[in-house]
Amino acid sequence: MKVNKSILILVFLLLVLVAGACNLSQSGIVETDDVTNNTASETATPAPIPPTEEIQPTAAQEEVIPEPSSKRYTFDQLGISLEVPSELYVFKEPGVNYDDPSKLDGYYFYIQNYGYREGPHTGDFQMYGHYQYSLRSLSWDEFANNTINSPNNASVTAIEINGLRGFDTFPSVQRKRFVYQFLLEGQVLTLAVTATTDENKVLADQIIKTLTYDPSKFTDQSHIQKIVEPNFFYELYLPDDWTYSFGTPAGIRLSDFQASSPDYQVVIEETDGPHSNIYYKNGVFLNIVVLEDDSALSEPTSAVIQSSYPIQYYGIEGMDYLFTEPSTSEGVLREIRYFYDGKSFILRFGYAMDVDQELLEWLILNLIITPIPES
């Protein structure tokens, strides 16, 4: 049987077309599957990935400002400064010359671990600093010989701190103390420490090593004014740039005293309500009243008490209050209340939030109620 050549060619072409169609169909299925898989991966919710250790959220991510571990104190007219651990209380006491209040007779300061608002009241560390301005000036050789050859010293070690030369001594006398002495402008700066424990020696050395001295700050000018109440109820010292006045007493108010720092600024905003809004913007206002009653035994009136703290002054017990009143829109009020000899002594401070608390403590401790009761 003879097959037509044209028919064979046609059949061959048909087979090629069928095979190509099959391949194309298979290729299209694969590509469609790929697209389906990709789309599913893009639209499906991704599985959670555990955070790494570096990005793990913790409470530490909240900003926490740590309390400073120490604070540098400048002892004004002495020209010295010391870095003191924050938990210790520092009190400065310039000693005014009674014959000339514009001059200092001496300078005293205390660094201790008790005696401050809401702090611990027990402890056995105290560093006492003392400098006397009016003594005869000493040379280094005199100072060194007197210290090294003193029969009262069981041990003497020469030291130099930031250019100040002196001695670290331990007395042989009955009252045991660690004593550091430096020659400062011809006079002896003494820093004595009790109690004589190993821990206190380590702490004292730590503080002493931070001692710095600025000769330009050294002066015997007091920058202090002495105020005597007209009825001799009390005396007090104020910085010499403060202004003050005495009011006219009336009724049970036996004395009224007002003073303010040179930067004192208060804004009183009148309102339609029962009281004005008072803003203590800057500085300190001080009012001292003496009343012929026992009101000092009670709390401040119309007050929102923030804290209260018992204090004692030359055997006189009192209370120290921090508070606000309905009219206090900015700032702090503080009252020190004493009851003595049938009278109330009330020291009232109004001040801005950023006022130096050292100044307030100095003002409080330099009020002298007269006569001072016998101890």
- Any idea where the domains of the chain sit in the sequence? 70-217, 224-369
Q: Are 165 and 143 in contact (CB under 8 A)?
A: no
Compute the distance between CA of residue 108 and CA of residue 93 in angstroms, rounded to an integer: 5
Give the pLDDT confidence score for residue 313 in this predicted structure: 79
Give the pLDDT confidence score for residue 18 in this predicted structure: 45
Report the greatest alpha carbon distance in the chain: 155
Place of tokens 């004004």: 76
Q: Judge whether 70-217 and 224-369 match in fold.
A: yes
What contacts 96, CB < 8 A, 6 or more positions away?
103, 104, 105, 222, 224, 226, 237
Compute the distance between CA of residue 291 and CA of residue 252 in angstroms, rounded to an integer: 5
Distance, CA of 240 to chain centre? 25
Compute the distance between CA of residue 157 and CA of residue 232 in angstroms, rounded to an integer: 49
Task: Report which secondary-structure segment, H or E, holds 99.
Answer: none
Compute the distance between CA of residue 36 and CA of residue 331 in angstroms, rounded to an integer: 69
Top CATH class of 224-369 equals alpha beta
Compute the distance between CA of residue 265 and CA of residue 98 in angstroms, rounded to an integer: 32
Give the pLDDT confidence score for residue 63 in this predicted structure: 57
pTM over 0.75: no
Residues of the chain scoring pLDDT < 70: 1-68, 114-123, 372-375
Compute the distance between CA of residue 121 and CA of residue 199 in angstroms, rounded to an integer: 18
Give the pLDDT confidence score for residue 26 in this predicted structure: 43
Task: Report which secondary-structure segment, H or E, holds 103.
Answer: none
Strand order in the sheet with 89-96: 89-96, 104-112, 126-132, 187-194, 178-184, 164-171, 153-161
Compute the distance between CA of residue 21 and CA of residue 23 in angstroms, rounded to an integer: 6
Choose among 87, 44, 91: nearest CA to 67. Answer: 87
Report CA torsion sign: 225, 226, 229, 230. negative
Other Cβ atoms less than 10 A from the Cβ of 190: the count is 18
Beta-carbon-side half-sphere exposure of residue 133 (alpha carbons within 13 Å)? 17
Give the pLDDT confidence score for residue 58 in this predicted structure: 44
Q: CATH for 70-217, among 3.40.1000, 2.120.10, 3.40.50, 3.30.930?
A: 3.40.1000
Give the pLDDT confidence score for residue 184 in this predicted structure: 97
Give the pLDDT confidence score for residue 358 in this predicted structure: 86
Beta-carbon-side half-sphere exposure of residue 226 (alpha carbons within 13 Å)? 17
Give the pLDDT confidence score for residue 365 in this predicted structure: 87
Q: How many helices (H) and strands (E) does the chain have?
A: 4, 23
Give the pLDDT confidence score for residue 56 in this predicted structure: 43
- The first and second tokens of residue 19, run together, are 């095979």
